[in-house]
Amino acid sequence: MQSQRNEAAREYSRRFPQRIQPSANAFLRLVERTKRTGSLLPQKKGLVGARRRARTPEIEEQMMEAFFQDPTTSIRTVSSLHGVSRNSIQRILKENRQHPYHYRRVQHLHPQDYAARVEFCQWLLRQHAENQNFVKTIMFTDESTFTREGVFNIHNNHFWADQNPHVIRPNSFQYKFSINLWAGILDRIDLNMAPKSIKKCSALRETAITQMNELKKVAEVADRQEVLYESSYPEFKARYKFIERIYGDFYQYHNTIIGTLVNSDEELTQEKEIQAAFDNDYYFVHMVFERVFNSKVERSQSNQSETTNKDHIQLPRLELYKFSGELKTWKTFLDMFNSTIHKNGSLSDVEKFSYLISSLSEEPLSIVSRIPMVGTNYQIAYDALVKRYDNKRLLATHYWNQIENVPSLTENYTSSQLRTLLSTFEENLAALKMLQFPVESWDFVLFNMLLKRLCSSLVSRFELGQDSPTAVPTFKSLSEFLLLMSQASDNVSQNVTPNTSKLTQTFQNCFFSC
């Protein structure tokens, strides 16, 4: 037996050199276990030879009593003491609505600390009742120490590999250091970031003040209400649209600065002066706008009767074409805007910028509105809009998808559905041709695409009208045939009276389906 177990140990080492090598006695114990139990696997401790007990009310009462006497005990311990499986104990606890809860670490308090805490809370409530902003004047602080050791839990950190790489993490350094970090918060302001935050907010607030000053200068010129200064009206009206945004930006950063300077009376006085000056400019611009444009409306209404008595004919006012981001309307919008606004030499850049913004909505408006409205920025805004939407590939894909996604006709089609099918092909092909695509060379492909979207009755009627069944028809001939059928359908529907008999209606259906 001694030689056999040694030979087994050597054979295992030869076959599995990368594994942990068991001793010769390990193989001897395996043989003895197999003879004794008939299995190579070890039996569970505490349940060797124990008979499985059935679940009864008495057993359930014993389990609950065990946890009642010692709530900190474990299921494994109770299972070993009473000979009941862990699964049964878990089911018993679940049915009796028992759940394992974790401990929560709290600060250790002395008996006299509880009364002191209650007294402090009552004092804080009294202070808050007298002054609603009292809590905002309290600075909450905390500190923590960071060392070179860091926080490392070997149970939560792993290194996955097919073999043990024997990874290590240095610990217990000979040269140590530690950093004590302090932080404070005062009314939502991080005191460690306060100087940097004040500097940034001051710069952003100064930008809003500058924009309001520029708007005020334009308002002062427009307030003169003389013919010489009427050219400033479009610029004033365009800038006035953004007055509320300027107002909101100012107070957003101003309130942040006030919150960080809550304990400095001298600096608070200076900030209040800045706020008062900004408010005066804001209300002045509002008053000028109402005075200038309300009086202008009244003058136009008083002269309306004189205008109507003139002999010449006045054309209706041409409204700007609106663009909301739909690719199918981009080319139409661009051509209309270029001809009426962009290439109009009588308009200033500020007026063109104003017209551009008023003709946009949704996504296009968001692209342009981020650019400050000054005359020098008009070309930048125009180029940004063209760069976003004047994309040849994107437009061509959109036009082609319109053709591919047009629905096919059924046997019960109407003349309007037939016209829609034909117009979808013609309009989108014309748009592709404007993008310099060789549409004329696609004749055979377009013919088959249109033919597949027709019902069998229309296809049969078209084929019967061909001179030769072997000749290849053109897309133009098929389009002309469909146009003729649409016009014939309209003519028949116009001649049918409300008292048309069923025989006449049947004849009409047979004519267009045969």
Local confidence band at 338 (pLDDT 50, 70, 90 cut-offs): confident
Q: Considering the chain, what percentage of its residues have pLDDT values greater than 90?
A: 6
The Cα 447–Cα 445 span in angstroms is 5
Q: What is the 3-state secondary structure (H, E, C) of 130-197?
A: HCCCCHHHCEEEEEEEEECCCCCCCCCCCCCCCCCCCCCCCCCCCCCCEEEEEEEEECCEECCCHHHH
What is the distance between the alpha carbons of residues 132 and 168, in angstroms, rounded to a whole number?
A: 56
Residue 451: its pLDDT value, please?
A: 85
**Confidence check: pLDDT of 391 > 60:** yes
| Whether 229 contacts 222, CB under 8 Å | yes
At 268 the pLDDT is: 74
- Given this model, what pLDDT does residue 504 score? 45
- Mean pLDDT across 198-203: 80
Tokens of 305: 């009767």
pLDDT at residue 507 is higher than 50: no
Report whether pLDDT(418) > 70: yes
**pLDDT surpassing 80 at residue 51:** no
pLDDT at 508 (0 to 100) = 47
pLDDT confidence band for 503 (50 / 70 / 90)? very low
Residue 286 or 154, more confident: 286
Residues facing residue 319 across a β-bridge: none
Q: To 10 degrees, the CA torsion angle through 302, 308, 314, 316?
A: 70
Question: Residue 482 pLDDT > 50, yes or no?
Answer: yes
pLDDT tens for 69-107 read 999 999 999 999 988 999 999 999 998 889 888 888 888
Specify whether the CB–CB gap between 511 and 492 falls below 8 A.
yes
| Token output for 72 | 């900190």
Mean pLDDT check: name the lowest of 130-134, 288-292, 510-514. 510-514
Q: Which residues contact 326 (CB under 8 A, 6 or more apart)?
A: none
| Mean pLDDT value of segment 499-506 | 48
Residue 137 clears pLDDT 80, i.e. is over it: no
* Contacts of the segment 199-204: beta carbons below 8 A, 24+ positions apart: 201/253, 201/254, 201/256, 201/257, 202/253, 202/257, 204/249, 204/253
pTM: 0.33
Higher pLDDT, 422 or 155: 422
Coil, strand or helix: which one is 360? strand
**Token digits for 77?**
């311990």
Are the C-beta atoms of residues 80 and 46 closer than 8 Å to each other? yes
Residue 49 above 50 pLDDT? no
